[in-house]
Structures are given as C-alpha cells and as structure tokens.
Chains A and B, each alone.
Chain A
Amino acid sequence: MAPPSSRRAGFSKKAQFSLFTGYLLAGGGALLGAVLLALSLWQPEAFAPLRGVAGEVVAPVGSGTAVARSSGQGFFASIAAYFNAGAQNAELRRENELARIRLAEADAIAAENRRLKGLLGLRDGESKPVAVTRLVGSTATSGRRHAYIGAGSASGVQPGMPVLSERGVIGRVLETGRNSARVLLLTDSESVLPVRRATDNVIAFAEGRGDGLLRIRLVNLGVNPLKVGDMMVTSGAGGYYRPGVAVAVIAKITPDGGIARLVAEPGATNFVSVLPVHQAQAIAELEAPESVGDRPSPAPTSAASASAAVPPATAEE
C-alpha cells in the first residue's frame, strides 16, 4: 500500500516545513534518549523517583493479578495432586520440602554455633520483618530480572533490605516508591551474594547468570569440595543478610565452583517478607568514608566489596 499523499510535501511551503519539523523533533528525541540512556547507565539510580511513581500505578493492578496467580497455582496443584494421590499429598510434599530446607538451615545454625562458641556476646536475635507483601510484577520483557513488591517507603522499606520468601532468599530492594518497591532478583546477572555451604565453612559468591541459574564461585580455589545437592546458605558477609538463609542447591560442578538452582523461585511465591538490613550500623560505617567522594550505591556489588573486608581506598585520604 502506498503512503498517504499527506506525506509528500510537493511545492507547499507549509507541508515542507511540517515534514522538516517532524524529522527534527524525531532526531531530537533520539538524541535526548541517547543522552538519558548514557546518564542512566552511568548513574543507575538517577531516575528512581520517576520509576517509583510508575510503580505506584502498576502495584494495585499487580496485587490483583497476584491473588489470581496464587489461586490459579492452588487450582493446578490440587488437580495435579488428585491425579497423583489425592490433594493431601501435594500439601504434605510441600511441607516435607520445607522441612528439608529448614533441616539444612538448622545444620547451618549448628555449625555457626560451634564457630561462635568462643566468642562471647556475639548473638543475633531473630529480626522482625519490616513488611510482608506480595510480588506484584516483574520486568518480563527486559533482560534484567527485577520484580515489584507491594510495599514501599511508607511501610519502612529502604533500598538494600533483603527480601525473603518462606523458602529462602528472593533478592534485595533496589529502589523504593511510596507503596511499591523494585527488587533485584538473585537471577539477575548483576546480582552477587556471599554464600557458604550449609554444613561447613566453604565460602563462595553466588552470581546470577541471567538465565535462571546461579554461578557459585568459590573464594578459596584449589580442590573443589562442592558436591551435587549441596545446599548453599547466606554467609552474612557484607552485613545485608542474616546468616544461614537458604539460597540455592548445587546442580552441576564446574572447575571454580558450581552451577546452582534457586531454592525460592519468585514465580512460585505467594508472600514475601522484607527484612531490615542485618548489620545496618556496620554498613553505614563502611560506606561513610566512601560517600565523601562517591555516592553509596545500592547495587549488589557493594555487598561483595564490603564482604571482602577491604577498607575503601578513599578512607586513607
């Protein structure tokens, strides 16, 4: 089909000018976009308030679909259970799975207790969640793995706070709006989380690969002690997460660690809880000298750099 004749300017000065203005505006738009893109790649949190407003609009709709999603999951689960061995079976299996995770976490706590026996007064109380909410949405078209939750700064949610489900770690709060917040999921390729094996002290970093699996990179290289089926839990290094929360199960061994599957899949989660930052004071002290020259970034890499226990270079200045 031919373009409409209004696209052809002919001898009309007005048509020529309006065509030219169209090109000029479009070119200007592209240029503006390029500048904004460069700016937001350089300073990722620059446009957080704008996105927060957009999140406010999406969150109420998302909470509706979240209810529908969870009831839909229940519906399919009971059908599946009927075909297997009755509806009870699914429920029991779920509980069994949870118990297995809890058992692994208990192993982790036992190991930690042994380790801390010599240190007096270094005991953390169970922290209360800041907010319990639903996952209301995610960035399903982007290469990044972010999710939205239905609680924001009005309920006390701050960037950096860990987000957990009843099974384990989901991710970390990246930006907050008033009643919604954006969460960096563990599977995002920019997510790094210090972990250790539940049973002993093998420490590693769990990095998202961007395809739903985590790459476990051991800190101490040498003989790879990991085995398929090992449970990795948070080590608490970096101060953001409480130690001993389930993260992933090793599925494949690689020379420098392994490939692990998530324990808590966000897609199968109904409710999540936002916990306060575990060692907020220590993090504030670590980041304070940094903030003179550089802004404290909520990016997950700061957890890695903090956990390496290297004082920032600017501290000496």
Chain B
Amino acid sequence: MERLDPRARSDIYGRRINRAPDPWRVRLVPYASIMLASVLPVLLIADTMPLLPSLGFLLLLAWRMVRPGLLPLWAGAPLGAFDDLVSGQPFGCAIFLWSLAMIAIELIETRFPWRGFWQDWFTASVMSVVYWLASLLFSGASLTPEMVGAAAPQALLAILLYPIITRIVAGLDRFRLARARTID
C-alpha cells in the first residue's frame, strides 16, 4: 500500500499506525505561543509610537475562536499576568481585560452557537478595538489626542492581522496534534 502511495495510511497529522500525539505538545503549544507573542514586540525599538497591536491578545482570541474549549475560561488571568510583565502597561491591566474577553467570547458563543469566519472576524475586531482603547485608558498616562492619533494604526492593524493570525494558529494546531510519539 505504501509503495503505491506513501501517504495512504496517514492524514494531516502524520502516520496513523502506532503513532500518537505528544502529550506535552498537545498541552503546551497554545500557552507557549501566546507567551511568545507577548514577548516578541518587546524586541522592537518603538520610540515614537506603538508599532504593533498586542500580539499576545490577538493570539489568545485566535486560539479561542479556532479551537473553542481548548483554553479554559480562566486562562486569560495567568496569560495576562505574563503579558503585563513585559508589555509596559500597569500590572493588572491585561489580567483584567483578558479575563473579561474570555468571558465575553463565552457569552457570545452561548448566544450564537453556530459561528462562521466572518462573524469570528467581526467579534475579534470589536474586541481588539475595545481592548486597544481600554489599554490606552489604563496605560497610566493622561490620554492626549496626539497619543490616540499615534496609536490609531495599532487598532487598524489589529483588525487586519486577525485572518493571518488565525492561519498561524491553525498551523500551530496542526503542529500541536501531529503524531510525534511512537508507540512500541
């Protein structure tokens, strides 16, 4: 069978016979990717204006939308605490907002159980714009019109990045469930 078609006994997660997903990978990939996304923007030098939307938050939204039920409802608090340590926002800002976001998505999901890509994009856009505004309000600085103007591209970028980030999350999900462990 394999001689005819090498991929006859495999699917997108790899070969099926005597293989299983790695249990560590199954559990850790969502958290590790969100934390990595929180840290990555720190390496840029942004001296005049914020350069990127909060990638950690976008990844959290995408994981929640692409894989409902994978992240527990309370996952926003610990992940937000890590984001607060590196993001430059006052400590507690992301704990508060990410927890609220997780609860809000849960409520939206109970209200509209059948969702599609466009509705997900709309939900994520509204949430990331609200998050952007709330982060500015809670940043610890008095809000000036110039500050909002300089940060406006951030909100636009958050909306436009969502489809790309869901593709990245889908790729990470395939990596997460790939059958990497051999059962003897």
A interface with B by C-beta (< 8 Å): 1-4, 6-7, 22-23, 25-30, 32-41, 44, 46-47, 50-51, 53-55, 58, 61-62, 65, 69, 135-148, 185, 187-190, 209-213, 262, 265-267
Contact = CB atoms under 8 A, between A and B. Distances in A.
16 contacts: A7-B69, A30-B99, A33-B93, A36-B92, A36-B96, A39-B91, A40-B91, A51-B91, A137-B42, A138-B42, A140-B51, A141-B50, A141-B52, A141-B54, A212-B150, A267-B45
Interface in B76-110: 76-77, 80, 82, 85-100, 102-103, 106, 109
Given A210-B141, A262-B47, 6 more contacts: A28-B74, A47-B91, A61-B43, A69-B45, A140-B46, A213-B146
B43 A34 contact: no
A3 B49 contact: no
Nearest to A182: B88
Contact of B74 (A29, A141, A209, A266): A29
Contacts of A34: 92, 96
Contacts of B87: 139, 141-142
Contacts of B142: 189-190
A187 B48 contact: yes
Contacts of B6: none
Contacts of B90: 37, 40-41, 44
Contacts of A187: 47-48
B55 to A, nearest CB: 7
Interface string B149-172: 111001000000000000000000
A3 B147 contact: no
B42 A139 contact: yes
Contacts of B98: 33
A40 B50 CA distance: 21
B100 A3 contact: no
Contacts, number: 215
Interface of B: 39, 41-55, 68-69, 72-74, 76-77, 80, 82, 85-100, 102-103, 106, 109, 113-116, 135-136, 138-142, 144, 146-147, 149-151, 154
A6 B76 CA distance: 20
Contacts of B103: 23, 26-27, 30
Name the residue among A34, A41, A141, A212 with the largest chain B CB count within 10 angstroms. Answer: A141
A2 B45 contact: no
B91 A143 contact: no
A136 B103 CA distance: 36
A135 to B, nearest CB: 6
A53 B85 CA distance: 9
Name the residue among B51, B72, B98, B139 with the largest chain A CB count within 10 angstroms. Answer: B139
Given A25-B74, A137-B42, A144-B89, A33 B47 contact: no
